[in-house]
Amino acid sequence: MAKLLILFAHPALEKSRIHKGMIRHISQIENVTMHDLYEEYPDFDIDVFKEQKLLLQHDVIIWQHPFYWYSAPAIIKQWMDLVLEHGWAYGENGKMLQKKKVFNAISCGGSKEVYSPTGRNRFSISQFLVPFDQTAALCGMLYLPPFVVHGTHRLEKGDIELYSLQYEQLITAFTNDRIQEEEWKSVTYLNELCPIPESIKS
């Protein structure tokens, strides 16, 4: 089984319906480590050695966060700046993370339509996530499409439960090595690999 590390960052988790639901659904899955960066480092004083050790112990890395200003909350940038060191994560001798899978699991208030060339935000989610993609490439990691929850402000309780269930199915599939490269390369969002059955939707 694969081991998953979820690097979670939400500075106002008490206000987030979707992330609380997602966390609740995956909290009991075997081989998943939930690592809340704001809870662990309220002063942003990140323990680089501890974080690097965690990365080495896992096969799949997930940056789970709200999509703040077309990116991630500040602590994820701080984490990347400090933890992904030259000579360790990248560079001539920086090969410690090679071949590990990584992706973003995000929530955003806008619909999928507004993240398009003709939409208000002009660019797709994947285009906004290019810095994460390139960071992964520099470190020799495999960057996968994101898991995305759109329109969070308008979601009903039942919708949140469905997205949370979808996330649970995705995480479970990764722990059991059920998602192959040709599958994730064929989709825009990882959500597409875990469709919700119509019987559950109804």
Return the DSSP state at 73.
Answer: -
What is the distance in angstroms between the CA of the first residue and the CA of the last residue of the chain?
33
| pLDDT > 70: percent of the chain | 97
pLDDT tens digits, 107-122: 999 999 999 999 999 9
Specify the CATH class of 4-201 in words.
alpha beta
Confidence of residue 197 (pLDDT cuts 50, 70, 90): low
- How is the chain split into domains, by residue range? 4-201
Confidence of residue 198 (pLDDT cuts 50, 70, 90): low
State residue 195's pLDDT score. Answer: 78
Question: How many angstroms separate the CA atoms of 12 and 33, rounded?
Answer: 21
Residue type (1 letter), 175: T
pLDDT tens digits, 129-177: 999 999 999 999 999 999 999 999 899 999 999 999 999 999 999 999 9
Q: Which pTM was predicted?
A: 0.94
